[in-house]
Amino acid sequence: MDVRISGNASDESRGKVSSRCGERQDEWRRISIMDRWECTVCGYIYDPEEGDPVGDIDPGTPFEDLPDDWVCPQCGATKDLFEKLA
C-alpha cells in the first residue's frame, strides 16, 4: 500500500517524525508490558512505571533490571522474596 503525505514537509523531516513516533510507541509498549512484583514479607508492590524513589530507581525500570543488592523500600527484603503478580 502506497501512502502519500501532502504538505510542505520534506522526506527527511517526515522520516524523523516517523522515527520518533516509533521510538515512543516502543517505549510505551515496553512500559505497559512490564510486570509488577509483590514483596512476600510486607506486601509492598514494585511497580516499574513508578520505579523506587527511595532506592533511586528511575520510573520505567523493570524488576529484572533492578540491581542485585536492591531491597524492598518498606521492609528491606531482598529481591528473591518478591513474586510476580499475574
pLDDT for the residue 3: 47
pLDDT for the residue 34: 86
pLDDT for the residue 13: 46
pLDDT for the residue 43: 98
Report how far apart, in Å, the C-alpha atoms of 14 and of each of 2, 27, 28, 32 are.
Answer: 15, 20, 21, 27
pLDDT for the residue 23: 64
Query: What's the average pLDDT block by block, 10 residues per block, for the chain (86 residues)?
Result: 48 50 56 83 97 96 96 98 95
